[in-house]
Amino acid sequence: MKPALLVIDVQNEYFTGKLPISYPAGSFRNILAAMDAAPDAGVAVIVIQHTNTAPGAATFRKGTPEWELHDEIKRRSCDLLLEKNLPGSFTGTGLSGWLQDHDIGSITIAGYMTQMCCDTTARQAFHRGYPVIFLADATGTLSVSNDAGSIRDEDLHRAILVTQQMRFSRVMKTDDWIEDIRNPEL
């Protein structure tokens, strides 16, 4: 069984659009480092791109510059590119079948946003029986304010990491993950 790295929604919307990622600093650099290390270690790389199908969508509208994957993601190789329309990367996509067809036995999560698509996908993978690693410094979020209240980016990110570690994932730093995939015997 092989591992897979899921690179979730690293799209321009989070850089030049309406939802700029603000925490943690360096998350994008760590996503790229994970993508660069994965192929040499035999880790399949799956890039996932979100499309908002709501009429008149303000974000992630297909065909807009903000919907596009970040250029650095496009420059890197991947084994599979999937489009999704909901927070969970397994919902309405061919991800589950692809993982089975390619003998994938574990999942690592990187990308945006920590509390939305990354968290949902990690939980879906866990529910399907996959061991999950959640990269603490290769996922990211922003501060949120809505009718339910407000939460700072750092607090939101930390809350999700603590919850993931409680049950759903092993939370790791990218450098440690890279060391583990390069030296699986250790």
Where residue 57 sits, what CATH number does that domain have? 3.40.50.850
Residues of the chain with pLDDT > 90, as a percent, come to 98
Catalytic residues: 9, 84, 117
Q: Please tell me the predicted confidence (pLDDT) of residue 144.
A: 97
pLDDT digits (tens, 9 = 90+) for 111-160: 999 999 999 999 999 999 999 999 999 999 999 999 999 999 999 999 99
Residue whose tokens read 């990110």: 157
Split into its structural domains, the chain has a count of 1
Q: Please tell me the predicted confidence (pLDDT) of residue 185.
A: 74
How would you classify the pairing of strands 2-8 and 104-112?
Answer: parallel
Residue by residue, DSSP assigns 121-184 as HHHHHHHTT--EEEEEEEEEB--EEETTEEE-HHHHHHHHHHHIIIII-EEE-HHHHHHHHH-T
DSSP state at residue 57? -
Residue whose tokens read 């390619």: 102
**What are the φ and ψ backbone dihedral angles of 47, each rounded to 5 degrees?**
-100, 130
Instruction: Give residue 176's domain range.
Output: 2-182
Mean pLDDT across the stretch 98-116?
98
